[in-house]
Amino acid sequence: MWLLFMDFVLLLVVLAVFWILKTKDQQRRITLLARHLSQYSIEKLMETVSQGYARALGEGSPERQTQVWTYLNSSEQSLSEQLLRLATEFAKLEAAQTRVSQLGIAIPFADTLFPRATFDLRRALSVHAQGIADAVNNSGQQPPKDRAHTLLAELYLLQHTCHWFCRSKTVASARLLARHQTSYAQALAAVAPQTRRAYESLVKG
């Protein structure tokens, strides 16, 4: 009985240490990303654009859709410009600060323990910034409704990457599904082909 009790206590200690280390690692990542985002209005603009586009896509009137998309033009341009600047600033960081674990669950300092099972957030942000810029400028010459779907998917995938960096892929996917009723696979399938190719090549190593 005593041995069982000691085993139980040891398990609790191990779990507590694991939780403390995981929290410390995640807080470092959250603080790093938040410090850079605080210089911009990216999060507010993403919310404005994503909510506006989701509302427009639910409209039955093409005229009403056009009005909403026209109203959001300045927010789109500002978002695109700020994301490009963020990607440029993030590129100046050391690689050790921007590694993202490809493991599905949150393991403390997994990026340091398993450096080969990581991808670089600096490169991911560059992919996202370019994909969103292309969607905003309609480089693919898509019809308005198709362009809106593409831009939404690009924004959702960016959010997923940021949550993946701060927490884990599993948490990021759960948040995407809960917040936007969209799975990671659906978002990835809906972005522009060039974004998808670059992103898959990066995150799958």
3-state secondary structure of 100: strand
Parent domain of 88: 2-203
Does position 65 have pLDDT exceeding 80, yes or no?
A: yes
pLDDT in tens, 138-166: 998 999 889 999 999 999 999 999 999 99
List the structure tokens of 200. 């898959």
Number of separate domains in the chain:
1
| Cα 200 to chain centroid, rounded | 14
- Per-residue model confidence (pLDDT) at position 156: 96
* pTM confidence score: 0.86
- The CA-CA-CA angle for residues 89, 153, 133, to 5°, reads 40
Backbone dihedral region for residue 181 (phi beyond 0: left; psi -120 to 50: alpha; all else: beta): left
Does an H or E element contain 118, and which? strand 118-120
Rounded Cα–Cα distance for residues 56 and 193 (Å): 24
- The confidence band for 124, taking pLDDT boundaries of 50, 70 and 90, is very high
Please give the C-alpha separations between residue 102 and each of 47, 55, 72, 89, in angstroms, as whole numbers.
27, 34, 35, 23
Does position 90 have pLDDT exceeding 90, yes or no?
A: yes
Weakest mean pLDDT among 56-60, 63-67, 69-73, 162-166 = 56-60
Q: Residue 121: which of 103, 104, 96, 153 has the closest Cα? A: 96
H-state helical runs in 137-183: 144-166, 169-180
